[in-house]
């Protein structure tokens, strides 16, 4: 399940790309398939070990183009271990809402992006997220949980203040919003609830088959209840003054 549209982002074979907060690797795998030289970057050692195994498996079966490369790196988004202007593309998806020092994280991702390079930043959208917080404290009051709910204009201002130009904004995963509302209503750790189990099966079926009906429904609903907001960005060739 991809939150970022890589066609819209313009990822090309040979691009040097970092996926900050890669998690289980869903975006990193797609970047590798597209021929990028990708680094999956995260704090979670165990998840990155699984991502690395998948990279190796993809290479063995020829799922990535010849010449592409993929590796993992453990580290902190607030102190990225890379020189300035190291990457053509920077991706950070569903991470900033977990980071108390989000302005510092945004500054770091901007620093390592090349002038003229592009980035994608995604966070949970205000309206669906607000419902989740209202329904359940355990949804966000956990270690490593969400520390804020972004309004899109607020995040846009922070990205612009760091020196990035917002080139587009989109929404994604409308069908996932009701699923999380259900989970929050019945208990986020309640795995045997028949309603959430049934809805989860529908989501898995949709992801595996991408039928016309649900794809069309989600496309129509994304502007209304899309679970995530996606910012597409570019770092100007000529540095702009930052606030």
Q: pLDDT tens digit string along 97-150?
A: 999 999 999 999 999 999 999 999 999 999 999 999 999 998 888 777 899 999
pLDDT beyond 80 at 240: no
Here the tokens at position 8 are: 């819209």
- Residue 139: closest CA among 96, 179, 111: 179
For residue 162, pLDDT over 90 is answered with yes
The second-level CATH assignment, the architecture, of 6-125+143-173+227-234 is 3-Layer(aba) Sandwich (3.40)
Domain with CATH 3.40.50.150 in the chain: 6-125+143-173+227-234
| pLDDT confidence of residue 57 | 97
Alpha carbon 70 to chain centroid distance? 18
Q: At what angle do helices 194-209 and 176-186 cross, to 10 degrees?
A: 160
Q: How far apart are CA 52 and CA 64, in angstroms?
A: 14
Confidence of residue 241 (pLDDT cuts 50, 70, 90): low
Average pLDDT over residues 50-68: 95
Dihedral sign, CA of 19, 21, 27, 29?
A: positive
**Span 33-42, average pLDDT:** 97
Spatial contact of 174 and 2, defined as CB atoms under 8 Å apart: no
């Amino acid at each position: 399940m991809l939150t970022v549209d890589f066609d819209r982002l313009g990822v090309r074979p040979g691009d040097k790309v970092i996926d900050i907060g890669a998690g289980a690797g869903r975006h990193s795998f797609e970047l590798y398939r597209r021929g990028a030289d990708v680094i999956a970057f995260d704090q979670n050692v165990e998840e990155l070990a699984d991502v690395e195994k998948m990279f190796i498996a993809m290479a063995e079966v020829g799922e990535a183009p010849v010449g592409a490369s993929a590796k993992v790196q453990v580290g902190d988004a607030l102190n990225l271990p890379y020189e300035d202007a190291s990457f053509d593309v920077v991706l950070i998806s569903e991470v900033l809402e977990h980071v108390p020092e989000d302005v510092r994280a945004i500054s770091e991702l901007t620093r390592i992006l090349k002038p003229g390079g592009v980035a994608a930043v995604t966070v949970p959208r205000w309206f669906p997220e607000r419902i989740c917080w209202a329904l359940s404290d355990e949804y966000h009051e956990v270690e490593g949980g969400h520390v804020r709910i972004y309004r899109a204009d607020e995040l846009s201002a922070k990205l612009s203040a760091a020196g990035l130009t917002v080139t587009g904004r989109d929404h994604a995963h409308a069908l996932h919003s009701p699923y999380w509302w259900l989970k929050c209503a019945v208990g986020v750790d309640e795995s045997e609830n028949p309603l959430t189990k049934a809805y989860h099966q529908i989501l898995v079926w949709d992801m595996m088959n991408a039928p016309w009906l649900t794809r069309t429904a989600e496309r129509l609903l994304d502007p209304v209840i899309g679970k995530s907001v996606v910012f597409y960005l570019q770092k100007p060739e000529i540095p702009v003054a930052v606030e």
